[in-house]
A and B are shown apart, each in its own frame.
Chain A
Amino acid sequence: MAADFVQNWLATTPGFATPFLLAALGLMINERAGVLNLGCEGMMLVGAMTGAVVSFHTGLAGAGVPVAMLAGALVALVFGIAVVVFRTDQVLTGLIIVAFGDGLTGVVGRPYMFEKVAGFRDLDLGPLSDIPWLGPILFQQDILVYAAAALAVAVWWGLDRSDVGLRLRAVGEDPATADIAGVNVQLFRLAAVVLGGALCGLAGAYLSLASSFVWTEHMVAGRGWIVIALVIFSGWRPGRAVIGALIFGGAEALIPRVQAMGFDVPIYLVGMLPYVLTLAVLIVPTILRGERSPAPSALLLNYLRQDRR
């Protein structure tokens, strides 16, 4: 029974980790360019809602994904124009985007609440999926789980190894120097914000199309905020984001497992686990690390060309 419990838990963990990973990769692209978009929760909501609506009308989960990404990107574009062009406060604007996403999805998504939609089912990879233990964990996931893993590699390569990534990081670390070197700071930031929004939209779509096959109001339930902490926890590195996402996904996966096993534990106190865990991973490294943070140096600072030193 204990072995079953562990196996079931491990097999459901990747599905819970995927939305965390996707959104964390998106935010990482933003933040490495020096823009903190606290609106993650809002963009995920918009992605979850549009993905479900498109899937509901077309009957194709695959059609929901690009639309959700586009919708996330559009909301991010609103944020980007305000922050990058009109130099609004990043924190405040991010909070507005959360409320905007919450309000917009509540209004537009209302008729679609609790409608069953077509979603992504777990793949059956034949003999691979039948391997005891490893099969269910590694080879019985839905396609987006594998896509997220591939994206993590792509984002790592893009940020740390590619030419464009070098410029993007320069914009986030020292925009004045990047500016002098001929990098268009504002354009890079805007592009990073939009790309990040697309990934947050995808993360939201995962919740409605692969986790629950249904759209409900507020369904992101604070995951967007956990992701922001996850990015800090991962030290802005895609590789560590994978580990962080698995930890948070694992914690969340425990909740339905514990319920299914019929353990006599107070379920709402167990429900605090993801949030308390987030607080812990946020607090412990900050205390240990002290003043030296791996955050991009220009994070949260809007760039004004005449301020360059």
Chain B
Amino acid sequence: MLGPVYLVPRQEAPLWLRASTFVGGIALGLLIAFGILIAYGVSAGQIVNEFIVFVFLDLNGLAQVVTASTPLVLVGLASAVALKLRFWNIGVEGQMWLGCIAATGVALFDIGPDLVRLPLMFVAAAVAGACWIGIPAFLKLRFRVNEIITSLLLTYVAYQLVQHLLFGAWHDPGSAFPNSQHYDEGTERLARLGWGSTHTGIWIAVGAGVLLWIVMTRARIGFYMDAIGANADAARAAGVPVVLTTALAAAMSGGLAGVAGAGLAAGQEYRMTLFIAGGYTFSGIVIAFIGRFRPIPVVVTAFVVGGVYTAGDTLKVFYQLPGAITTLIEAVILLSLVTVEFFSRYHLTYGVRERA
């Protein structure tokens, strides 16, 4: 381990190896997660029952999964489009909050005619989210300020702003809790699909996935994004507009996150609450990494993570497990995935090695 072992990065690992480390890593993570759940008194049979039978083979369960997946698809795409370029947007929650604030502002003050109110809410949310990531993106591209910390800190700033509004000017006098007034029925709410609590937000999410897939695989900017993700310096030397492409990718990322926040408010809560965006940043990162930053796999992964969310909710209700269990499981699975991938990224050479 620490002795005379040489690690040699593989230029290209064979497909079988990449596939088996991917599957093996996730399987190891699931195994540990199962261990945690069993330690908390959930039996193996119940786990299979909750995670597979109820979640994916039951119509009501599946409706819950679709509802839970709606924001997850969007935050997964938001993370993926930024991480593809190694731009660490870890302020997705902050952008969701800004999207939520913008949409709620449009709804509360009845901005625009009724007919276009809902689209206007989502456009405002996308713009607000894009502006919020615009601050770290500008600071990084102009002054090389590390975007990891700035984007994250802005999440806390956004949350203070949300509290400022919900405990103050936007507080619904008819509610004892810090909520905004409800959105108007018909004009400011996403329509239900008539299947559980699913709503038209899912079409926005899947549509965004398809659109992003077209952009990333068919448009020139997608090619630029590939080049920057592979090697930013080489891309710059080859004439790729690195700054512009990164700025656009960051804006897309923030915009998608803003839409996710607005979608939760307009599709599920019908108002702004203090709990809308909680915990989505890390889920987005998990989904983006498992989906390899590619839109279609990201959408698929988001549905699976939606299943974990749904099962987590059931466990919360029936086994009194805390909600944090979902975060813990996500962390364990991603950690084991990236660790096991070591075996497809390197091969080990023992003993003395002649220098090339």
Residues on A lying within 8 angstroms of B by beta carbon are 38, 78, 82, 85-89, 91-93, 95-100, 102-107, 110, 184, 186-187, 217, 221-222, 225-226, 228-229, 232, 266, 268-269, 271-272, 275-276, 278-279, 282-283, 286-287, 291, 304-306
Contact = CB atoms under 8 A, between A and B. Distances in A.
B107 to A, nearest CB: 21
Contacts of B149: 225, 228-229, 232, 278, 282
B153 interface: yes
A268 B160 contact: yes
B355 to A, nearest CB: 8
A105 B322 CA distance: 10
A229 B156 CA distance: 14
A222 B322 contact: no
B330 A99 contact: yes
B329 A103 contact: yes
Interface of B: 1-2, 6-9, 36, 40, 88, 90, 139, 143-146, 148-150, 152-154, 156-157, 160-161, 163-164, 167-168, 282, 285, 289, 321-332, 334-335, 338-339, 341-342, 345-346, 353, 355
Given A268-B160, A286-B145, A110 B2 contact: no
B157 A272 contact: yes
Given A283-B145, A306-B8, A107 B150 contact: no
B88 to A, nearest CB: 6
Contacts of A102: 324, 327
Contacts of B150: 279, 282-283
Which of B144, B157, B164, B168 has its CB near the most chain A CB atoms (within 10 A)? B157
Nearest to B5: A305
Given A87-B342, A91-B148, A271-B160, A96 B7 contact: no
B353 A306 contact: yes
A275 B157 contact: yes
A110 B153 contact: no
A115 B231 CA distance: 51
Helix, strand, loop or mixed for chain B's interface?
helix
Which of A78, A88, A105, A287 has its CB near the most chain B CB atoms (within 10 A)? A88
Contacts of B143: 283, 286-287
A226 B345 CA distance: 33
Given A282-B150, A287-B143, A266 B323 contact: no
Contacts of A85: 1-2
Given A91-B148, A268-B164, A187 B2 contact: yes
Contacts of B1: 85, 186
A225 B153 CA distance: 7
Given A78-B335, A271-B163, A305-B6, 15 more contacts: A86-B338, A87-B342, A96-B335, A103-B328, A110-B322, A222-B156, A225-B152, A268-B161, A272-B160, A275-B153, A279-B153, A283-B139, A286-B143, A304-B6, A306-B7
A291 B143 CA distance: 9
A103 B331 contact: yes
B152 A107 contact: no
B164 A269 contact: yes
Contacts of A282: 145-146, 149-150
A186 B152 CA distance: 30
Given A103-B324, A110-B322, A268 B167 contact: yes
Contacts of B168: 266, 268
A251 to B, nearest CB: 13
B254 to A, nearest CB: 17
Contacts of A222: 152-153, 156
